[in-house]
């Protein structure tokens, strides 16, 4: 019902995204700078709705302004009331029929957009990702690639003619969470006991920031995520790195022992060791991640040691308790974790 040509015209109006590389963090989240199919479809509808509303605003505001100026009180006016009109069919129709038509157009345009995104035929060579919300971090699984990671979702960029849609299955391990990366698609729910399907198809490399959109507890606001969109080559390199067994560096044996004896492994998994917990993020390739604590701080020495001393310093209310490690243990575990490439 909306002519394609109009949609295409609208698509070029909002902020045209500039070229960038996969290391560049898009620090400003912007729904009007869509990157890839589902977000572009949403943006077109949003612009259409805004234009219709702008039209209504101009007409109503214009008439109001006209009436205020034209019929303002002037000296020497005759003070009698203007003619009072009741039950004029023409006027009643004029202010009921157009609004109804406008609402119908908006509803149909929205329904069409919802259908277009929900029922989209996934073509090309899709990447499958399972995302499970936890208080307060994201478990990220690539079932076909046999990769488990957290908080940072790597996906290949889609080129014109070579789409690599990312098919997402969303679930939750505890309470309801919401997944939203504004440049890539709208919001989706993560509900315990349910599987919701979602997809993105980013067309420009870069790091896109996302949030949890449903209040899920004290660290809801620090349940951050990032989608790393990279060239297919870089994505394959990343995947190969994630599939490798973890490095076994004999120089960090003390840290490995500390990790095991302090029951870190009852919450965290490190492949090839006895640590197989699933309550916290998988740490097998921990150093491939740029951030700590679901985006709360950069993954560097100082923050890592602070985190190990007491996670509540960086992320008050997170579910990892202070493990009461002494300074030597903190140093040894830090050294060990830093070998997990």
**Is 164 or 177 the residue whose CB approaches ligand CUA more closely?**
177
Burial class (CB in 10 A: 0-12, 13-18, 19+), 155: buried
**Is 179 or 208 the residue whose CB approaches ligand CUA more closely?**
179
Beta bridge partners of 159: 162
CA 239 to chain centre: 21
Q: Report the nearest approach of ligand CUA to the CB of residue 201 (Å).
A: 24
Q: Report the nearest approach of ligand CUA to the CB of residue 313 (Å).
A: 21
Other C-beta atoms closer than 10 Å to the C-beta of 146 total 10
**Is 41 or 223 the residue whose CB approaches ligand CUA more closely?**
223
Q: Report the nearest approach of ligand CUA to the CB of residue 180 (Å).
A: 10
Kindly report the backbone phi and psi dihedral angles of residue 336, in degrees, each rounded to the nearest multiple of 5, phi listed first: -65, -50
Q: Report the nearest approach of ligand CUA to the CB of residue 218 (Å).
A: 10
Looking at the chain, which runs of residues are DSSP E strands? Answer: 25-26, 127-134, 137-142, 147-150, 152-156, 166-172, 177-180, 188-190, 196-200, 206-212, 225-230, 291-292, 297-298
CA 11 to chain centre: 21
The interface with ligand CUA within residues 175-234 (CB under 6 A) comprises 177, 212, 214-216, 220, 223
**Is 212 or 320 the residue whose CB approaches ligand CUA more closely?**
212
> What would the two tokens of residue 163 be?
């789409």
What mask, x for binding ligand CUA by CB under 6 A, covers residues 47 to 86? Answer: ----------------------------------------
> What would the two tokens of residue 334 be?
């830090």
SS3 140: strand
Q: Which of 34, 38, 133, 281 touches ligand CUA (CB under 6 A)?
A: 133
Q: Report the nearest approach of ligand CUA to the CB of residue 281 (Å).
A: 14
**Is 136 or 307 the residue whose CB approaches ligand CUA more closely?**
136
Q: Applying CB under 6 A, what is the total number of residues that bind ligand CUA?
A: 9
Q: In the chain, what is the greatest distance between 2 CA atoms, to the nearest angstrom?
A: 100
Q: Of 152, 281, 137, nearest to 208 (Cα)? A: 152
> What would the two tokens of residue 290 be?
């740029």
**Is 144 or 194 the residue whose CB approaches ligand CUA more closely?**
194
Q: Report the nearest approach of ligand CUA to the CB of residue 217 (Å).
A: 7
The count of residues in the chain is: 341
**Is 135 or 256 the residue whose CB approaches ligand CUA more closely?**
135
Which residues, including other chains, have CB under 8 Å from residue 169's CB and lie 6 or more apart?
A: 128, 129, 130, 131, 195, 196, 197, 198
Q: Report the nearest approach of ligand CUA to the CB of residue 35 (Å).
A: 23
**Binding residues vs ligand CUA (CB under 6 A):** 133, 136, 177, 212, 214-216, 220, 223
């Amino acid at each position: 019902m909306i002519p394609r040509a109009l949609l295409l015209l609208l698509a070029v109006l909002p902020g045209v995204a500039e070229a960038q590389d996969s290391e560049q963090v898009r620090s400003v989240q912007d729904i009007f700078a869509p990157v890839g199919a589902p977000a572009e479809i949403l943006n077109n509808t949003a612009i259409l709705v805004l234009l219709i509303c702008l039209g209504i605003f101009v007409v109503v505001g214009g008439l109001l302004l006209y009436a205020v100026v034209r019929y303002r009180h002037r000296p020497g006016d005759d003070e009698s009331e203007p003619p009072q009109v009741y039950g004029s069919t023409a006027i009643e129709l004029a202010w009921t029929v157009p609004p109804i038509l406008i609402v119908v157009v908006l509803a149909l345009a929205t329904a069409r957009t919802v259908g277009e995104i929900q029922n989209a035929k996934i073509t090309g060579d899709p990447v499958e990702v399972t995302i499970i919300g936890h208080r307060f971090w994201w478990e990220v699984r690539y079932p076909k690639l046999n990769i488990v990671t957290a908080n940072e979702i790597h996906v290949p960029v889609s080129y014109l003619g070579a789409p690599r849609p990312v098919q997402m299955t969303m679930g939750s391990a505890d309470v309801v969470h919401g997944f939203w990366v504004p440049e890539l698609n709208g919001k989706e729910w993560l509900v315990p006991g349910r599987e919701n399907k979602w997809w993105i198809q980013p067309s420009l490399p870069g790091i896109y920031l996302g949030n949890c959109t449903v209040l899920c507890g004290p660290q809801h606001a620090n349940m951050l995520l990032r989608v790393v969109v990279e060239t297919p080559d870089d994505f394959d390199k990343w995947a190969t790195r994630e599939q490798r067994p973890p490095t076994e560096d004999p120089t960090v044996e003390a840290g490995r022992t500390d990790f095991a004896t302090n029951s870190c492994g009852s919450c965290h998994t490190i492949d090839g060791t006895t640590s197989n917990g699933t309550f916290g993020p998988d740490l097998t390739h921990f150093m491939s991640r740029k951030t700590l604590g679901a985006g709360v701080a950069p993954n560097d020495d100082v923050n890592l040691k602070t985190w190990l001393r007491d996670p509540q310093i960086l992320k008050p209310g997170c579910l990892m308790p202070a493990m009461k490690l002494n300074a030597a243990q903190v140093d040894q575990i830090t050294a060990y974790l830093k070998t997990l490439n």
